[in-house]
Amino acid sequence: MTPVENIVRYISDIKQYKTQFGSTRPYGAGFLFAGWDRIHGYQLYNTEPSGVYNTWKAHAIGQNYQSAQSSLKQYYEENFSLADGLKLTIRVLKKTLDKNKMSGDNIDILVLEAVDGELTQRFLAARDIENFLKVIEQEEAEEKAKNDKTKSSDMII
C-alpha cells in the first residue's frame, strides 16, 4: 500500500467507525486527496462520509459534480501534459461554477508536481489562470463557429 493510500485508508476507517454509533457522524463531507510517491506516481483518492474510498485518474465532488464528471469523461486523456491538465481543470470549473464571470482572481488551483524526485506544491498565479481562460474561450469560439458552419451547410442541400 502506498503512503497516500495509507492516509486515505486511515481517515476512511475513522469515518466508517463513526457510522456505527447513532448521531456520531461528524464527517458529513467527501474529501479529495492528491499525492505522489516514487513507486506509484501521482494518485487521486476520494472518500465518502460513510468511509468508502476510491482511486481515480480524474474526479470531481461537490456541487454540480455530475456536469464536471461528464466533462472529465469527455476531455480527459491518459497522457496529458501539465498544461493540458490545467486547461482541462479550468474548462471544467468554467462549465460547472455558478459564477457570472470566472477569472484568475476568484478561483484557486493548487499544482502538485514532482520535480527531480521532490514533491512541490504551488498555487497557479491569477495571470496564468487568465491566460488559460483566454485560450479556452478562443477554442470554444472556434468550435462554435465550426459547428455553425456545419449546421448551415447541412441546411443547404
Are 98 and 136 in a shared domain?
A: yes
Share the mean pLDDT of the chain: 86
* Domain span at 126: 63-146
Instruction: Tell me the per-residue pLDDT of 107-157, one tens digit each, with 9 for 90 and over.
Output: 899 999 888 878 899 999 999 999 999 999 899 899 888 888 776 666 555
| pLDDT for the residue numbered 73 | 93
Q: Are 107 and 129 in contact (CB under 8 A)?
A: yes
Are 140 and 95 in a shared domain?
A: yes
Return the sign of the alpha-carbon dihedral for residues 97, 99, 100, 105: negative
Are 52 and 72 in a shared domain?
A: no
Look at residue 104 and tell me if it is in a domain.
Answer: yes
Q: Where are the beta strands (DSSP E) in the chain?
A: 31-37, 41-47, 53-56, 110-115, 118-123
Q: Are 143 and 151 in contact (CB under 8 A)?
A: no
Look at residue 50 and tell me if it is in a domain.
Answer: yes
Q: Which residue has the cell 513507486?
A: 39
Look at residue 94 and tell me if it is in a domain.
Answer: yes
Give how many domains the chain has, as a whole number.
Answer: 2
Domain boundary residue, one of 56, 74, 90: 56
Q: Which of 16-30, 44-58, 75-89 has the lowest mean pLDDT?
A: 16-30
Q: At residue 80, does pLDDT exceed 80?
A: yes
CA distance 47 to 42: 17
pTM of full prediction above 0.85: no
Residues β-bridged to residue 31: 47
